[in-house]
Structure 1
Amino acid sequence: MNRTTLGAASIFAAAAMPAAAADMAYPVKAPIAPVPVFSWTGFYIGANVGFGGDKFDYPFSATQRQLQAETDPLVASTAGKFSLTSSGFFGGGQIGYNYQFANGGVFGIETDIQWSGIKGRFDGNQTVNDNGIVTSGTFNTGSEVEWFGTVRGRLGYAWDRLFLYGTGGGAYGKVNTQGSFAITGPNGVIGQAAPVTNSGTQWGWTAGAGLEYAIAPQWSFKTEYLYVDLGRTNLSSTTVNDVANGFFATSSMDVETRFHTMKAGVNYRF
């Protein structure tokens, strides 16, 4: 090949290179998928365990009135209350629904039911030695919240996977109260009151706050504080009205049930 032919081939190759380069595909970056925004909207179901307690209050009152000839009636009365400290573990489950607004606010409703071991009990005795005659009294009383539940609204704010809320609504539960009293002398039992037993469902209210964190797309961990007030119910009530002898007497005792709870649990979101 002479120099003239080689030079012409070089010029032709150089002219063809831009055209070939124009036909080559340049590398294109793959589009980045947007990170989905977490939402608390939806139904959920879960389980929890916790510890609670405070006290049971037992307000009481008694009054008697005795008519007297040619003088004012003799009237005596007393009133007060005594309390028992309560504590115990509980556990159960909850179900609810949340709706998250565009601004991050979250509104929901939740109901839960708990088995409970929250109880308070007092056992005592008193011995009296009167000139060698020994008399003793034994008594015991106590109450237990066998189970309780709530129906509450939840209102708060979510920072992505973190949800902080306040909560409040109605509460209900079964409270069982028992008590007995006996006096024993040298020859055995000389006096014994009939055991007091009262068991039934009580209604009240609850309020508190909680924190929930989504540890996975469908799972979240929660911790929650609630104050529960199950109201007041009558334990015993007696009335004696002896019209013939001008004597009237009445007595009453109630139980008031209140306790604080702290629990932790998990929820599965649908």
Structure 2
Amino acid sequence: MKSILLAGVAFAMSVGVAAAADSTTTVPAGFVWTGGYVGLQAGYAWSNANYDAFEYATIDYDPDGFFGGLYVGYNHQFQNNIVLGVDADLNFSGIDGKARMTWFGDLEPDEDHVGYSKVKTTAAIRGRLGYAMDRFMPYVAGGVSSAKYQFDLDHDGTGNMDFEEERRLTGWNVGVGAEYAVTNNLLVRAEYRYTDFGSENFDQDWGGDSTIDLKTHDVRLGVAYKF
């Protein structure tokens, strides 16, 4: 996950060098979004996360909660006010959930089996496309995401675990947001993001051929320093 963030930093630096070397680009009038930035963010996420044990049972974990972390990136603004950039983030979360297991063929959840889940960390690297309106910039973004996801099943609520699993899931994200330059160096942003972290099939002693997936929606706010 850290490698995703480091890759974002390296790519942002390469974009910055290339932009600086382009002496033929005319500097746009008004506030210019070109430059690197680093910031802090916090938000709230809700999810659709399912565990299926083939021919046995299912658990809709669906964790939700708050998260926070840091982000870095680089923007380049063109004369026509189009802004292209790269953005990477790393977050630590309190996104967790509790759910009852349901046996296939039964309508009611099993009160004796309780599942717990937690999204420990997430990371993403994204391309961004924005349009500069002086100090205001709406944008769309999309890229690759990764999460460290922990999920388990407690039998009879006694701490006697039927299984305890932790998986690294990787998928894609898309989002829409807006940034505002409060000063020449202080940027604030608000964003909605949808992430599909994908699914993973694995062989499990308790459930045999099993599948886990994770999809999240989130809203987040950020504040950054522009170099």
TM-score by length of 2: 0.76
**Partners of 1:198 and 1:235 within 8 A in 2:** no
**Partners of 1:196 and 1:236 within 8 A in 2:** no
Question: Is 1:178 aligned to 2:152, yes or no?
Answer: yes
Q: Secondary structure of the residue that 2:79 maps to in structure 1? A: coil
> What does 1:1-270 align with in structure 2 at a 5 Å threshold?
37-62=30-55, 81-122=58-99, 138-182=112-156, 195-234=162-201, 236-238=203-205, 251-270=208-227
Q: Secondary structure of the residue that 1:159 maps to in structure 2? A: coil
Gap change, CA 1:137 and 1:207, over 3 Å in 2: closer
**Partners of 2:59 and 2:115 within 8 A in 1:** no
* Distance in 1 between residues matched to 2:125 and 2:93, nearest whole Å: 17
Query: How many angstroms does 1:179 deviate by?
Result: 0.8
Q: Quick one: which amino acid aligns to residue 130 of structure 2?
A: G
Query: How many residue pairs are counted as aligned between the two chains?
Result: 191
Gap change, CA 1:84 and 1:194, over 3 Å in 2: closer
Deviations 1:12-63 (A, max 9, x none): xxxxxxxxxxxxxxxxxxxxxxxx621000000000110001221122323x
**Partners of 1:144 and 1:175 within 8 A in 2:** yes
Q: Quick one: which amino acid aligns to residue 251 of structure 1?
A: G
Structure 1: unaligned runs, 5 residues or longer: 1-35, 63-77, 125-135, 184-188, 240-249
Q: Secondary structure of the residue that 1:85 maps to in structure 2? A: coil
Deviations 1:42-91 (A, max 9, x none): 000000110001221122323xxxxxxxxxxxxxxx7x744233210000
Q: Quick one: which amino acid aligns to residue 179 of structure 2?
A: E
Gap change, CA 1:196 and 1:234, over 3 Å in 2: farther
Query: How many angstroms does 1:193 deviate by?
Result: 7.8
Query: How many angstroms does 1:238 deviate by?
Result: 4.9
* Distance in 2 between residues matched to 1:251 and 1:149, nearest whole Å: 30
Q: Secondary structure of the residue that 2:54 maps to in structure 1? A: strand
* Distance in 1 between residues matched to 2:210 and 2:138, nearest whole Å: 41
* Distance in 2 between residues matched to 1:49 and 1:110, nearest whole Å: 16
Which structure: greater strand fraction? 1
Deviating more after overlay: 163-172 vs 82-91: 82-91
Give the CA RMSD over aligned residues.
2.6
Query: How many angstroms does 1:137 deviate by?
Result: 6.8
Q: 1:7 maps to which residue? A: none
Look at both structures and tell me which one has the larger radius of gyration over its CA atoms.
1
Q: 1:71 maps to which residue? A: none
**Partners of 1:44 and 1:267 within 8 A in 2:** yes
* Distance in 1 between residues matched to 2:112 and 2:69, nearest whole Å: 37
